[in-house]
Amino acid sequence: MSHGYRTEFTRNARERLEKVRAETPQLEHLRIKSSILDRRIEKYASQGLTRAAILEQLLAARWPLDQLRTRFPELPESVFSYPALSIRVPPVQVPAPATASPSTPAGNIDHAKLNAVTAAEGISFQYVPLIQCSFPHADPKDATKFTRKNGWLELTLGTTHPDTGLPYGVPARLLTIYCTSEAVRTNSPEIYLGDSVHDFLRRLDVPITRGARGSLSVYANQLLRLIHSTLSIDENIRDGAGRQGLHMRQALFVEEARLWWDDPEQPKNRKGAGRSIGNGSSLMLSSVLFHSILERSAPLATSAIKRLRKSPMDLDVYAWLVHRLFHLSKPSMVSWEQLSNQFGHNYGLPRKFRHFFLGSLKRVSAVYPEAKLQISESGVLLLPSRPHLANTKPSKR
C-alpha cells in the first residue's frame, strides 16, 4: 500500500469516525425518547384507551409526527396534526372581566379574551390545595412527612426517598407554580425543564448563578425533592342533602422524569448539589395530580410573584388572599388560630407568628391594594373585594 493511499484511507476513516461520534448523542437521545414513547403507549393501552384515543393524547403532548406515524400505521394521514395550543383555564377559578358581576357564570367568560390577557399580563397558576395548605417554610431536615390543616382540608406531604428530603421554601413554591402554569398552558402533563425553567426564573428576577451554592444548584435540589414527593389530600365534603363524607386523593407529584446535568465536570450528587438542569430535561406529572391541577388551579399575577419572591410566607399569604377574596360574597372572619394552623410553620409563640404574618400581609397589600380586610384581636376579617387580576397591568420585562 503506497504512502499516498494510506494517507487517503486514514483521512477517510477519521472523517467517518468523527461523523459517527457527532451523530451518537443525537441517536442516543432519539433512542431514549423512543423508549419513553413506547412505554407511554403501553400505559395508555393498559388503561383501556383505543388506538385513536392514544394518538390523540400523544398529539396533545407534541410527540414528533414521524415517530407517531410509524407506531400508528393503520390510522389515516389526516389525523396526524397537532391540536391548536390554548390555555385550558379551570372555569370556576378564573376571575371574570372587570365589567362583569362577581356572580357571572363561568360559562360566559370570553376565553379568547382571557387567553390574550394571560399572554399580555403574565398570569401564572398555582394548585389550590397548595394554596390552602402550603409546603414547609424552612428545611424540615430529616422529616419524611409534613401535614397542614385548613378547615375541612388536610394535606400531607411525603417523600419516596427520605435521604433526598422534603421540598421547602421559595424554590419549592416557584417550581410548583411553574409546573402548574405549564400544565394549564399546554394542557399536557409533560413539563419541559432546562432553559424553560431558567426563563421563568429570569422573568421573576431570580439571579441565575452556578456553582455548588448557586441558584441553579438550589433549584436542582428542590426539583429532585419535588420529583420524589407524594401528596395525600383529605377533604371533608357535604352533598346537597346535607350528607357528609370524606374525599381522599393520593398522588405522586411526578410519575416519570429524565434530567440532564449542565455541569458534567461537577461531582455526582443525587441531591443535585453543584448541578444544574440542562436542556432536554423533562418530567411527567402523575395522572391524578395533572387532572386535579386542571380542575383546581388559581390564577396569580406573575408581577406580584416577582415582587414577593423573597419570602415563602409572602407568597403563601398572597396566593391565599387572591383565592379567598375571589370567591368571597360576604364578610368572613379567620381566627389567629386558623391562620396559625395554615401558615404557622414552627414559629413557636403565637405572638411571633402574628408578627411575621402581619409583616407579610403588609407587603401583600402593596401588590394587591384592592384587598379589603380588617385586623383585630380575634383575627383577620375578609371583606368582598374586587378581583385582583382584573386590574393587573402588563408586567415590564
At residue 129, the pLDDT reads 93
Higher pLDDT, 370 or 396: 370
pLDDT at 382 over 80: yes
At residue 18, the pLDDT reads 52
pLDDT at 46 over 70: yes
Domain ranges of the chain: 3-79, 106-391
Average pLDDT over residues 129-146: 92
- Counting Cβ atoms within 10 Å, is residue 56 exposed (0-12), middle (13-18) or buried (19+)? middle
Average pLDDT, the chain: 78
At residue 377, the pLDDT reads 92
* Highest-pLDDT range among 156-160, 191-195, 267-271: 156-160
At residue 163, the pLDDT reads 92
Q: Is 112 helix (H, G, I), strand (E, B) or coil?
A: helix
For residue 392, what pLDDT band results from cuts at 50, 70 and 90? very low
Element (H, E) at 34: helix 3-46
Of 298, 326, 312, the C-alpha closest to 364 is 312
* Highest-pLDDT range among 49-53, 58-62, 178-182: 178-182
For residue 99, what pLDDT band results from cuts at 50, 70 and 90? very low
pLDDT at 149 over 70: yes
pLDDT at 45 over 90: no
Q: Which residues, in sequence order, are bridge partners of residue 381?
A: 333, 374
Query: Which residue in the block uniquely carries the three cell numbers 372581566?
Result: 97
- Counting Cβ atoms within 10 Å, is residue 11 exposed (0-12), middle (13-18) or buried (19+)? exposed
Q: From residue 306, how far is each of 86, 201, 207, 213, 310 by CA, in Å?
A: 24, 9, 12, 22, 9
* Interval 236-293: pLDDT, tens: 888 888 899 988 888 899 999 988 877 655 554 555 555 778 777 889 999 999 999 9
Instruction: Give the percent of the chain with pLDDT over 90.
Output: 40
pLDDT at 93 over 50: no
* Interval 102-111: pLDDT, tens: 333 333 333 3
Average pLDDT over residues 192-196: 79
At residue 270, the pLDDT reads 52
Higher pLDDT, 3 or 226: 226
Lowest mean pLDDT, pick from 163-167, 205-209, 307-311: 205-209
pLDDT at 357 over 70: yes
At residue 23, the pLDDT reads 45
- Counting Cβ atoms within 10 Å, is residue 349 exposed (0-12), middle (13-18) or buried (19+)? exposed
| CB atoms closer than 10 angstroms to residue 241 | 5
Average pLDDT over residues 73-87: 77
The answer to whether 231 and 253 have CB atoms below 8 angstroms apart is yes
Instruction: Give the percent of the chain with pLDDT over 70.
Output: 75
Single-letter amino acid, residue 285 = L
Higher pLDDT, 26 or 73: 73
Taking the C-alpha atoms of residue 5 and residue 3, their distance in angstroms, rounded to an integer, is: 6
* Highest-pLDDT range among 206-210, 217-221, 330-334, 343-347: 330-334
Of 82, 167, 182, the C-alpha closest to 125 is 182
* Interval 52-79: pLDDT, tens: 888 887 887 667 788 889 999 999 998 9
The answer to whether 166 and 229 have CB atoms below 8 angstroms apart is yes
For residue 90, what pLDDT band results from cuts at 50, 70 and 90? very low
